[in-house]
Amino acid sequence: MQWLLNLPVALWRRLLLIGQGLLGLLVLIGTGLGALFASGGTLADRLKAALTAPASLRRAFAVARLFAPNLVLKTKIITAYDNDGTAFVARRADVIDVLSRDADFGVVYGTRMETITGGENFFLGMQDTPRYTRDVSNMRLAVRRDDVPAVVAPFMAATAEALVAAAPGTIDVPQMLSLPANARLLDHYFGTPGPSQAEIIDWTTTLFQYLFLDLKADPVFDAKAEKTAAAFRAWMDSHIAARKAEGGTRDDILGRCLVMQAGGLPGMSDRDIRNNLIGLLIGELPTTSAAANLALDELLDRPDALAGACAAAGAGDDDLVAAHIFEALRFRPLNPVVYRRAMRDATIAEGRVRARRIKKGTMVMASNLSAMFDPLAISSPNSFRTDRPWETYILWGTGLHACFGAYLNRANLPAILKPLLAKRNLRRAAGPAGQLDNAGSPFPVHFHVAFDQ
């Protein structure tokens, strides 16, 4: 009889799916018409700005969930990695399915990771192989989960508190808070400060873009990335050599790797350590900074949510601060899609009306943004709620290649933003300065907010 009790809920969720899709389509048409008749810039630029805005992306995926949940195209959208076409996956069940079937849908980053390291892959670009298991296991021994409450979170909280305290009533969040806080963590916890804060920020940001966001393989940018990678390798090689020469056993990630090397652990040569650290640093610094700014921007667009987050910060309620930040990121995830390549012919949603056959070589764009708004799986998906179970969120992927630093992210993001949220009358700075400015990059470079001292 349980199925009978569940029937009204299932029907209601289907109605929500239909309503979201139809409403999303109408609003998108209106958005396009508004851009068509607006002034300023070219029509193409106006349309791009209007239809790629966060709210428009959510509506577009609502339309996709209803009308084309598994859309297969012959068009190659990504040209940086070999493929034979593109598929978009929008329903939550199918997104999770794709990201969990590593033998069918594999990661593609290996070739570019080899360029960064000078010839070897990093486990982010590996399939489920013995080498993958060895390297991940080694780095899990170094980057320990119990470090988060004991070392990482307290350091990040104190660092962010000091950076915000030094701001005179206004702060450029990327330049004065999120980027320097994360750069200092690389020094304190990873043991890899870089030759300077500015250089380690530039290196990691450039190489993250090269791996994940340079979808069209821009030759000018790629040349810059290759030069950056060479400089990063040279510095890391000399830094590892210097740490070995000084002796001692500093308890940071590099120090732990050197202890494991001295103990004869396989996969811990100087070159292995260098490559693994470069991969981890690329994934840590620019993404955490960008996510902090996106979450703050979303909160500032939602007065009630901002008031709740600020009240929680003022009361020292860390859990509630975190709940506001991660719910904001559900609306504004750093990566609205995760892409994989079909390793062989495979079927998505087999046995369902929406089933589609995916040919080997197709690039599959699984939308975690869409998955977090799927009314078939998420209650009140369009509402901003701070009582959602953690399993709601797919902010850093899932499956074999879920973000290695997910536990760090979960602690660091609230720690970075809490002291700022605790300030009185937190608000955007006046004019363009109070809006996110990527300055031609994929990540926030400037974003000024103000508060009462």
Q: Which residues pair with 365 in a beta bridge?
A: 88, 339
Outline where DSSP puts E strands in 131-256: 170-172
The DSSP 8-state label assigned to residue 84 in this structure reads S
342: three-class secondary structure by DSSP:
strand
What 3 state SS string does 224-260 have? Answer: HHHHHHHHHHHHHHHHHHHHHHHCCCCCCHHHHHHHH
- Of 294, 322, 291, 292, the closest CA to residue 309 belongs to 322
| Predicted pLDDT at 5 | 59
Over the chain (453 residues), what is each successive 10-residue block's mean pLDDT? 64 89 94 88 86 92 96 94 96 97 94 93 88 94 95 97 96 98 96 96 96 93 97 97 87 96 95 95 94 98 98 97 98 95 97 96 97 96 97 92 90 97 97 94 95 91
In the chain, the amino acid numbered 445 is V
CA distances from 2 to 9, 11, 376 (A): 12, 15, 18
Could you please state the CATH topology (level 3) that the domain comprising 68-452 is classified under: Cytochrome p450 (1.10.630)
The bridge status of strand 356-358 relative to strand 363-366 is: unpaired
Cα separation, 100 vs 152, whole angstroms: 29
Give, in degrees to the nearest 5, the angle at Cα 92 between 87 and 94: 45
pLDDT at residue number 43? 86
183/140 Cα distance (integer angstroms): 21
Strand ranges inside 118-200, DSSP E: 170-172
Instruction: Return the pLDDT at 154.
Output: 97
End-to-end CA distance of the chain: 60
User: Which pLDDT does position 123 carry in this prediction?
Assistant: 86
- Are the C-beta atoms of residues 76 and 83 closer than 8 Å to each other? yes
pTM above 0.85, yes or no: yes
How far apart are alpha carbons 329 and 409 in whole angstroms?
A: 12
Residue in 406, 142, 113 with CA at minimum distance from that of residue 257: 142
Residue 404 contacts residue 137 (beta carbons within 8 Å)? no
List the chain domain ranges.
Answer: 1-67, 68-452
User: What's residue 40's pLDDT?
Assistant: 82
Q: Is residue 242 within 8 Å of residue 258, measured between CB atoms?
A: no
Closest listed residue to residue 184, CA positions, set 259, 318, 289, 292: 289
